[in-house]
Amino acid sequence: MGALRSLSAAREMLSLGEDAYLELASLALHRAHELEGGEAPIHAFLSLVEEPPRFRAELSPAGGAAASRLAGVPIAVKDNICTLGLPTTCGSRLLEGYVSPYAATAVRRLEESGAWVIGKTNLDEFGMGSSTENSAFGPTRNPADRKRVPGGSSGGSAAAVAAGVVPAALGSSTGGSIRQPAAMCGVVGVKPTYGRVSRYGLVAFASSLDHVGVFARSVPDAAAILGVVVGVDRRDATSRPRDPGPVSTSTAGEPSEALRGRSIGVPAEYFGDELDDGVRQVAERALDTIGEAGARLIPVSLPSTATALSCYYVVAPAEASANLARFDGVRYGRRATGGRTLSETYLRSRGEGFGDEVKRRILLGTHVLSARQYEAYYLRALELRRHVHEDFRRAFRTVDALFAPTTPTVAFRLGEKRATPTEMYTADIFTVAANLAGIPAMTIPIGNQGGMPVGGQLMCAAWEEEKMLGIAAALETCLEYVHPLAGEA
């Protein structure tokens, strides 16, 4: 059976009624199971539904003007976003088998629009990683080359979309965990403005950095999903009280209008020595295309980029150490046996339940928050974060958007960086700043290097998702990207 590549293809099938709905559901589930087999399974999913929900004629595309464009469409959800009926494990043994009693707001809004959750996708444990190799249940493989990583931490969602199991998926981003895997898998990934999509039901990693976002095969498809999940939510204290409203998809598809006269900033710091030469060439060709389409390319500087990664790896672990304190085997999580005292039970449960990377970040976060180190590390990191925010604010006074490579390299080989955590951390060097500043950012495929996808990153000022999506859709049309798996059935 074939792969599912777009929302339009799904809607075309679904317009034929209940039989087509069952056929589409069967296609998606068959494709998911197909990719889990063989000697090198993709392992995009940690759990799958046994059968799709009941067909609802009033929501089908044939049901009239009120019908949702997502009705009957299968969607994958990262396994740190709560759903009803399927486990929410966060890729950790500590939460193995846990089923949430409620659904995340983003999931609920998709389901109210007629979409259904086909399964929960693999991730680095509690979202901590850049390769999806830190999952307690085994790594995910890149569909374009199964010897390589899909990126992380939302690698399962990116792989599920790239492999054609679903036309779209939800993921989360704390330091780049949507854009980085999207770039490595050759799909579109969108991280909205902080507070634009409710975090209610997202298991917290670093609360001031966490975002819920979207994966899709095209910009219009990503915009359609984002348009459903955005909006104020009283359950989320960080949800903006006066939200700009639904994201319009009307900006997509007119490259001559969307790019002509736009000022696109090119930050010098994203084209430095860290950037692989092959990725640089692909990014520079994309910049040529942007210029040929009528946009003005303006050199800009974001000086705090050099310290953004260090800032992130102080702030994020500090917040993680506080958020993960609740998982002690008593209040939350699997309880270890054999503990003779309460303290020993805590130690055993956390020691057995957490993986090495989670333990590393908890220890780091506890250290920087300690009385002796708080001012030297944590308060300095908060000051650096303010400078990152000011850099972007200054840049957006003169440009409409920023364009840069999403990652310094294409997807690396499985196991290549696991032994050197600091080298693994540099995979997020171009993405962490947007999370620190809370601005909208996204990646689209801009070419291939050595048979692997390369992503280009767009960033805009806070709450300017429509502008960003319009520019991205125009660039997508101009580039006419061909995915390495385009020839698959």
CA distance 362 to 365: 5
Say if residues 439 and 459 touch (Cβ distance below 8 Å).
Answer: yes
CB-facing half-sphere around the CA of 341: CA atoms within 13 A: 3
Name the catalytic one among 68, 130, 177, 239. Answer: 177
Phi/psi of residue 165, nearest 5 degrees: -75, -45
Taking CA atoms, 280 is separated from 176, 193, 305, in Å, by: 19, 27, 18
Q: Is 47 a catalytic residue?
A: no
Other CB atoms within 10 A of residue 201 CB: 23
Q: Length of the chain, please?
A: 489
Q: Among positive and negative, which fits the CA dihedral 325, 330, 332, 333?
A: positive
Asked if residue 328 lies in contact with residue 346, where contact means CB atoms within 8 angstroms, the answer is: yes
Are 130 and 427 in contact by the 8 Å Cβ rule? The answer is yes
Question: Edge-to-edge, what's the strand order for the sheet holding 74-78?
Answer: 45-48, 116-121, 74-78, 168-173, 211-216, 188-191, 441-449, 452-459, 401-405, 263-267, 296-300
Point out the catalytic residue in the list 47, 60, 68, 78.
78
CB proximity list for 329: less than 8 A, separation 6 or greater: 94, 335, 336, 345, 346, 348, 349, 350, 353
Of 270, 294, 274, residue with least CA distance to 284: 270
Quick check: is 191 catalytic?
Answer: no
Out of 92, 153, 172, 321, pick the active-site residue.
153
Q: Tokens representing 114?
A: 């007629």
- The phi and psi torsions of 394 (rounded to 5 degrees) equal -65, -45
Residue 420 tokens read as 């050197």
Burial class (CB in 10 A: 0-12, 13-18, 19+), 298: middle
Helix residue ranges, H only, 36-154: 105-112
Burial label for 342, CB within 10 Å (0-12, 13-18, 19+), is exposed
- Write the DSSP string, 382-420: HHHHHHHHHHHHHHTTT-SEEEEESSSSSPPBTTSSTT-
C-alpha to C-alpha distance for 254 and 136, rounded to whole angstroms: 44
Query: How many CA atoms are closer than 13 Å to the CA of 258, on its beta-carbon side?
Result: 22
Q: Residues with catalytic annotation?
A: 78, 153, 177
